[in-house]
Amino acid sequence: MRSASFDWNELRRRLNAFQQLVESGGALSDEQKKSILRERAKALARVPEAEVHGEKRLEALKFQLAAETYAVELGFVGEVYAMKGFTIVPCTPGHIFGVVNVRGRLLSVIDIKKLFGLPRGGLTDQNKVVVLHHDGVELGLLADAVIGVGLILENDLQSSLPTFTGIQTEYFRGVTKERTIILDGEKLLKGTGLVVNEEV
Amino acid sequence: MKLSIGAKIGGGFAMALAMFVVVGAVTYRNTAKSIETNAWVEHTHSTLEKISEILSLLKDAETGPRGYLITGRESYLEPYQSAVAQIPASIRTLKQLTEDNPNQQRRIEALEPLIAKKLGELQVTIDARKNRGFEAAARVVETDKGKTFMDDIRKIAGDMGEEERGLLKKRAQEAESSARGTTVSIVGGVLGAIALLGLTGFIITGNITRITKEIQEAVGVLASTAVQLAAATAQSAATVSEIAASVGQTTVTVEEVKQTAHVSNQKARGVADAAQKVAEISRDGKKSVAEAIARMGKIGGQVETIAQSMARLSEQSQNIGEIVATVGDLAEQSNLLAVNAAIEAAKAGEHGRGFVIVAQEVKSLAEQSKAAAGQVRSILAETQKAMSAAVMATEQGSKAAAGGVEQSDAAGKSIAALAESVAEAASAATQIAASSQQQLVGMDQLAQAMGNIKTATTQNAAGSKQTEASTKELEKLGRRLKELVEQYV
């Protein structure tokens, strides 16, 4: 049965175009390449905003926990590590997620969501471990996703929010206009609440 | 005796007629005999006359010479001469008259010489007177010879007369007896005829009276029958006119039926033609169905090919999915590397400034890659959905093709059945056409018959009128007959 509504020629034309595209190896045309390079050049030439205004700025790693964005000062961040296999350590509080092996070093991982009482989602292969270090102490923070490194203007920071309570206020440094919560890396690393000394 | 009136009348009159015929015949015979007798009587009288004439002539012949003898005057001889001249003729006549009687003939033969002798004696006397005178003559006379002759003659003549008179008497007696017989036969015959006619009349009158009474009765019946007949004829005339009207209507109906038969004939022919066409079409349909089945099979094969292609496509897209997952993984790792590079660059301070930008670029690329991988994944999901739909459609197509084959088969069977039915219909239509043709012919015959009936009815109507008139005549006749018969009663 021949369908009048279906354009076989169009399909054939599109298939041919696709075949040509495949045969060309998906290579970009010279113009496309040029435009990409131009964009990059523009980005490189752009002067950071903070410098323009002469304000004090803060470099931080932004990551996501549940629906909220958190950030840690870059000075405390060692590296970001994709979580691959972890070991649950018995006789630890709930917020201690477990230990992971990062290039031969054992690293404790804290589930901040549990600590802050945030809604906990399932563990996925997208989960990352943000490695914090300061004065020889290392700690892993379990993050749902890593957003990246960004600049935060300290003047924009609000010291506290009325909704913060208890343990949350203890580790928070402030909140930006964009509602990014800046965590205090030092306190997180030295916080007694995180030291485990339980005996069974 | 069972005889018709005519026979009776005829018989009676025939008998009377026979009687009259007998009487007539007898009378005729007697009359004829009487006439004959009369003729004979006359004959006898003639004979007697002749005899006396001859005697008279002889007397004249005797007388004449006496005066001459005495006077000598010859004038006295005149009677004698005249008698001598007449006597031979008279004797001849007498001879002829008595031809039938031999006695008389003999007497005449005896008489003739005597007469001749007498006449001779007279001549002698006369001669003697003339030649020798009176005396001589007186002596001749004195011999008495003459007287003797005369006496003999008288005697024979007397005998003859006697004979004739005897005959006359006999004939008169015969005539009388004949007349008496006639009278008797007439009286007897007439009386007998009267008696017979009377008897016949009596019998016939009796018969006629009886018959007349019967006729009277019959005439009464006839009159009443004529009245009834008149009524019946009037009714019949009415019926005939009704029949004529009915025939007219029937003729119209026959015409209509004929038209209908004509139409049905045409229609049946049309149906037969249409059935023929349908048969051809169904043959074409069978062919088409066979082709359709073949094409369905081909479609089935092609659908299978499509299914195989779909399976390959599905495998390939799965491979693509895996590759895309790898790409996504790589992008994620690149992202992480970029983040770490940025961290390291930040640690490096001012020297790492350019590297930060590179790291950001790498990160951006990684993110783009990730987004692209995500797009590809969603596209793949769409593709998978489309392919599932295509597979389903293909499966359905395969099933549809199989179903199509089955349905085409069924359609072929249906078409075959249809063709059979159509063939039956065609033959039925042909039969209908034939029978409607026959019907048409029958209708034509019927129309003709109706025409005949119409003509006959018209004639019948005319006949009814005539019958009516005849019936009236009959009634009149009955009345007249009644009147006539009443005269006889």
CA–CA separation, B417 and B424 (whole Å):
10
Our CA-based measurement puts residue A200 at a distance from the nearest CA of chain B, in whole angstroms, of: 38
Q: Contact A146/B338, CB-based, under 8 Å?
A: no
pTM comes to 0.45
Tokens (6 digits) for B219:
């005439």
Residue B353 has pLDDT above 80, yes or no: no
Residue A1: pLDDT band by 50, 70, 90 thresholds? very low
Tokens (6 digits) for B311:
């399976």
Residue B55: pLDDT band by 50, 70, 90 thresholds? confident
Q: Is B331 exposed, middle or buried (0-12, 13-18, 19+ CB in 10 A)?
A: buried
Nearest-by-Cβ selection for A80 from B339, B347, B361: B339
Q: Contact A59/B332, CB-based, under 8 Å?
A: no
Q: Which of A147, A149, A151 would best serve as a mutation to test chain B binding (most B beta carbons within 10 A)? A: A149
Given the DSSP bridges, would you call strands A180-183 and A68-73 parallel, antiparallel or unpaired? parallel
Residue B130 has pLDDT above 50, yes or no: yes
Our CA-based measurement puts residue A167 at a distance from the nearest CA of chain B, in whole angstroms, of: 28
Tokens (6 digits) for A112:
């901040």
Our CA-based measurement puts residue B351 at a distance from the nearest CA of chain A, in whole angstroms, of: 15
DSSP A75: G
**Looking at the complex, does the CB of residue A44 fall below 8 Å from at least one CB of chain B?**
yes
Reported ipTM exceeds the 0.90 cut? no
Q: What is the pLDDT of residue B411?
A: 85
CA–CA separation, B109 and B95 (whole Å):
9
Among A residues 54-83, those touching chain B with beta carbons less than 8 Å apart = 59, 61, 74, 77-82
Q: pLDDT digit string (tens) for B74-113? A: 888 888 888 888 888 888 888 888 888 888 888 888 888 8
Residue with structure tokens 């006729």? B215
CA–CA separation, B467 and B471 (whole Å):
6
Residue in B344, B336, B320 with CA at minimum distance from that of residue B370: B336
Nearest-by-Cβ selection for B339 from A40, A126, A146: A146
Q: What is the pLDDT of residue A13?
A: 92
Q: What is the pLDDT of residue A195?
A: 59
Q: Contact B332/A74, CB-based, under 8 Å?
A: no
Residue B2 has pLDDT above 70, yes or no: no
User: Which chain A residues are closer than 8 Å to B404 by Cβ?
Assistant: none
Looking at residue B216, its amino acid is Q
Closest residue on chain A to B295 (Cα): A1
Q: Contact B343/A81, CB-based, under 8 Å?
A: no
Please say whether the beta carbons of B343 and A61 come within 8 A.
yes
CA–CA separation, B103 and B105 (whole Å):
5
Our CA-based measurement puts residue B435 at a distance from the nearest CA of chain A, in whole angstroms, of: 49
Tokens (6 digits) for B319:
């491979």
User: Which chain A residues are closer than 8 Å to B356 by Cβ?
Assistant: 149
Our CA-based measurement puts residue A191 at a distance from the nearest CA of chain B, in whole angstroms, of: 24
User: Which chain A residues are closer than 8 Å to B360 by Cβ?
Assistant: 43, 148-149
User: How far apart, in Å, are the Cα atoms of A112 and each of A59, A139, B238?
Assistant: 21, 12, 131
CA–CA separation, B370 and B141 (whole Å):
239
**Looking at the complex, does the CB of residue A146 fall below 8 Å from at least one CB of chain B?**
yes
Q: pLDDT digit string (tens) for B215-226? A: 888 888 887 888
Tokens (6 digits) for A118:
């945030």
- Cα–chain center distance at B304: 93
Which residues share a beta bridge with A142? A129
